[in-house]
Amino acid sequence: MHTRTLRIGTRTSPLALKQVDEVVGKLRVFYPEITVKIIGIDTYGDKDKTIPISAMEGTDFFTREIEDALLRGEIDCAVHSAKDLPDRIPDGLHLAAITRCLDPYDALISKHHRRLEELPSCSRIGASSERRKRQLRLYRDDLKLLDIRGTIGERLRKLDETDLDAIVLAACGLLRLGLEERITQKIPFEILRPHPLQGSLAVEVREDDRKLIALFSGIDSREVLLA
């Protein structure tokens, strides 16, 4: 059992903090007495909101500073959205857990509660990833797809306060923030296939920290998924 206070590194957005709460809740099923200290870290992706997400997919855009803090020993573990993980985990780190998916769907949030098929031609849709934009173009090439950045709250405000007609977000983020009433439609997989890790959370530790690797094994869903 891990006896010291567990220092958890995370981004500072409301969603990131909810994700840490979710991981801690899962841990306390096995270790109800565990104590934690949450350490917020702004990443390059949080500081620079001008670069399109589509240009940074597969990189450490949202993890670099947190992983650096973990390697320096300033935190004991890091919690990320699993789909934000870089294609290559840095040397010295270990992926200790991938949690069960909360909800894999992408969600449409639209003005006037129009579903994707009901949106007028040339509607302006905010989307972050190239994956989403590419698949939406295949379904409806008459829509105008625009880059959108920011926290979930910031993106919702852009929809409410600008000429956007709709935005596409991961349903899991809205659920974690208690904003499921904003969802107009969970987009069917045959239209929009989500990132394979969407809805799951990832926990990184140092590769030589055997105690933490064992601690997080109880919330790791990877063996279940492969069974």
Active site residues: 84
* Secondary structure, 3-state, 122-187: CCEEEECCHHHHHHHHHHCCCCEEEECCCCHHHHHHHHHHCCCCEEEEEHHHHHHCCCHHHCCEEC
Whole-number Cα distances in Å, 83 to 2, 34, 106: 27, 27, 13
Sheet (strand 185-186) strand order: 144-147, 124-127, 166-170, 106-110, 185-186
- As separate numbers, helices (DSSP H) first and strands (DSSP E) second, the chain gives 8, 10
Whole-angstrom Cα distance, residue 67 to residue 59?
13
Whole-angstrom Cα distance, residue 75 to residue 120?
49
Altogether, the residues listed in the chain come to a count of: 227
Q: At 68, is the secondary structure helix, strand, or coil?
A: helix
Q: At what angle do helices 152-161 and 14-30 cross, to 10 degrees?
A: 140
